[in-house]
Amino acid sequence: MSSPSQFSFEDQNQLRQTIETVARKRVAPRAAEIDARAEYPQDMFDLLKDMGLFALPFPAEYGGTGSTVAACIAVEELGRFCYNTGYLLVAQWVPFGAILYGGRDDQKARYLPGLASGDLRAAVSVTEPGGGSDVANITTRAEKRPGGYALTGTKIWCTNSSVADFILVAAKTGAGRGHNNIGLFIVEKGTRGFLVARHEDKLGARGLPSCELRFDEAFIPDENVLGGEPAKGFKLVMEAFNRSRPIIGARGVGLARGALELATRFVKERQAFGQAVAEFQGIQWMLADMQMQTEAAKLLVYKAAQMVDDGVSGKALAPWAAMSKCFATDVAMKVATDAVQLFGSAGISRDNPIERYFRDAKVTQIIEGTNQIQRNIIGRYVIDALA
């Protein structure tokens, strides 16, 4: 691939065509089984690793394109056929963003090459039993000890945790609410006092495990405090989420495209009242709305992704990242719902893949910050910037 500044339209088309071809031949045949068994798709991980896709958004020195647009293309095309396979990439890229943005040079050297190659797997853990969106109110504690910190507390819904080599864990280093005493700690697999506990039996996104984590004075050395200063933790979490939200939006676009394609084929083949269901004007209007919504979501996602590639960050990026994630995943849910309706009674049967798209689409409205939280971010932007 070309360098980030030269990742051209031709490069994008070539990448899209390559991934679509592989997804049709190798990924699509596995999608239903991965969902039904709720088993980690190691074969799909190996496929993505062999293709070098984990490196896509990484800088050129790690073998990547340095392009969030490229990352969105990969996730969108894989998501058309198998949400879980696209999720394998996203699970790797959120911790990558935090380390790239806020890690010390030695931390980048230790973890980024392995994340880019697929030789290391990672996860991010923020959500707790008492809440997920209210990051400032987390209760997991990090108490200073000679040479490091002792983590104590419980996390939930940590995706990829049971297969991860390390997890970025948000914990408080002081008392009370507030953002300035939240740190991100690199907790490596096998750390004493750290346990990956119960696996969730999920509605959608079933191929990647989401687990409870327990910490009982798990010792984390100073060298594993991301950025070297715990006070930077909240900012690192928020920036990592901001940079990843266009990619979450791309998952929504992929799901919407896949659901629309399935529904269109179905109504063209299905007969009613002596003609193809697709010939009815009401059906065509539904399909038209589904197509318009999907294309609008796609444009918003790639605008936000290009902003990341252009170096936009912080408060300038936040509302656009939130809009791309919120709108695209709401569209995924709307299009998947309409697609199930177009299938009729066949749409609620496990024998048809469309119900899987419906379940996976619902997940996207919740993860990486609920869409209600995204609307809070967007609303504050409107009040502050557009008044």
Active-site positions read: 368
Question: Cα-atom radius of gyration of the chain, to the nearest Å?
Answer: 21
d(CA 304, CA 378): 13
The DSSP annotation for 86-154 comes to: HHHHHHHHHHHHHHHHH--HHHHHHHHHHHHHTSS-EEEE--BTTBSS-GGG---EEEEETTEEEEEEE
- Could you tell me which of 212, 97, 86 has the C-alpha nearest to residue 154? 212
**Residue 130 CB coordination number (10 Å):** 11
Nearest to 46 by CA among 6, 85, 77: 85
Pairing status of strand 194-199 against strand 182-188: unpaired
Identify whether the C-beta of residue 154 lies closer than 8 Å to the C-beta of residue 131.
Answer: no
Residue ranges of the alpha helices (H) in the chain?
9-22, 28-37, 42-51, 68-79, 83-102, 105-117, 233-269, 281-309, 314-343, 354-364, 371-385
**Could you tell me the two tokens for 111?**
């973890």
Give the separation between CA 381 and CA 387, rounded to whole angstroms: 9
282, two tokens? 């009401």
